């Protein structure tokens, strides 16, 4: 279908962005889009849009634009959104689902089990999910019988690496680390780090050191 070596992390990120924007366009009844319009809506240069698409073969007809419905299906196939990936969320204490985040959850990831390492909340229902908290002792069985491929980790730092090792031993294929602490996995396991603290530090660094171009007083005057 395409050469993996041609696909960078940045291309994947932008494909996810095109997908979000195209979905809204489709919902609003738009059926065709040109690269300059998609570029404008995503803040990405039109030639980059075309280059991203070209990694994966032909997507549209020159001069006509792209059929949004077809484009969405192709992107979903590329990003793996056409498959449901089952996940287990491992917490310590009462699992609190990242609701703000959850509202923008990718369509393809489905949390099938929530585990509390402390064991204190086993049996309690989980907010926003039709699930009850389960215990760690059943982890291997849960992963194998429910076809779970992704482990989402949200535990205090002292438990993180141990939890990851446990998940990998149980046969997990991918780890999502929601903590600010690095975890280590073998090459055979996929990993993404959702380090919110580090993302926020980009903001506080900028606010502290980069002078804003419009002083606060001018901004107030412009109201």
DSSP-derived 3-state class of residue 126: coil
CB of 137 to its own copies, least distance (A): 15
Measured over the CA atoms of residue 148, residue 150, residue 154 and residue 159, the dihedral's sign is positive
Total binding residues toward its own copies, as defined by CB under 8 A? 86
CB of 48 to its own copies, least distance (A): 13
Query: For the window 11-30, what string marks contact with its own copies as x by the rule CB under 8 A?
Result: -xx-xxx-xxx--x------
What is the distance between the alpha carbons of residues 153 and 151, in angstroms, rounded to a whole number? 6
CB of 13 to its own copies, least distance (A): 5
Q: At what angle do helices 9-27 and 35-42 cross, to 10 degrees?
A: 100
CB of 207 to its own copies, least distance (A): 6
- Give residues 127-166 in contact with its own copies (rule: CB under 8 A): 128, 140, 144, 149-150, 154, 157-158
What is the distance between the alpha carbons of residues 153 and 39, in angstroms, rounded to a whole number? 34
Is residue 5 near its own copies by the rule CB under 8 A?
no
Is residue 125 near its own copies by the rule CB under 8 A?
no
Which is closer to its own copies, CB of 163 or CB of 179? 179
CB of 158 to its own copies, least distance (A): 8
- Give residues 74-113 in contact with its own copies (rule: CB under 8 A): 78-81, 83, 85, 91, 95-101, 103-106, 108-109
Is residue 220 near its own copies by the rule CB under 8 A?
yes
Burial class (CB in 10 A: 0-12, 13-18, 19+), 206: exposed
- Give residues 44-73 in contact with its own copies (rule: CB under 8 A): none
DSSP-derived 3-state class of residue 55: coil
User: Tokens for 83?
Assistant: 């498959």
Is residue 43 near its own copies by the rule CB under 8 A?
yes
CB of 119 to its own copies, least distance (A): 19
Rg, the chain, Cα only: 21
User: Tokens for 110?
Assistant: 């489905």
- Give residues 175-194 in contact with its own copies (rule: CB under 8 A): 176, 178-182, 184, 186-190, 192, 194
What is the distance between the alpha carbons of residues 157 and 29, in angstroms, rounded to a whole number? 47
What is the distance between the alpha carbons of residues 127 and 130, in angstroms, rounded to a whole number? 8
């Amino acid at each position: 279908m395409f050469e993996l070596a041609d696909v960078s992390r940045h291309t994947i990120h932008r494909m996810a962005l095109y997908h979000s924007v195209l979905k809204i366009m489709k919902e609003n009844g738009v059926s065709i889009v040109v690269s300059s319009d998609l570029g404008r809506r995503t803040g990405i240069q039109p030639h980059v849009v075309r280059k991203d698409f070209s990694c994966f073969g032909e997507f549209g007809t020159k001069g006509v634009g792209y059929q949004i419905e077809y484009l969405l299906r192709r992107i979903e196939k590329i990003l793996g959104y056409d498959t449901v990936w089952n996940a287990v969320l491992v917490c310590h204490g009462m699992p609190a689902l990242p609701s703000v985040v959850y509202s923008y959850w990718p369509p393809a990831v489905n949390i099938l089990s929530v585990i509390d390492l402390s064991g204190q909340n086993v049996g309690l229902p989980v907010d926003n999910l039709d699930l009850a908290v389960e215990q760690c002792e059943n982890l291997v069985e849960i992963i194998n019988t429910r076809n779970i491929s992704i482990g989402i980790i949200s535990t205090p730092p002292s438990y993180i690496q141990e939890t990851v090792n446990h998940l990998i031993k149980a046969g997990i294929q991918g780890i999502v680390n929601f903590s600010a602490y690095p975890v280590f996995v073998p090459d055979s396991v996929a990993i993404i780090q959702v380090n919110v603290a580090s993302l926020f530090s980009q903001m506080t660094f900028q606010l502290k050191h980069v002078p804003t171009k419009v002083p606060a007083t001018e901004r107030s005057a412009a109201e």
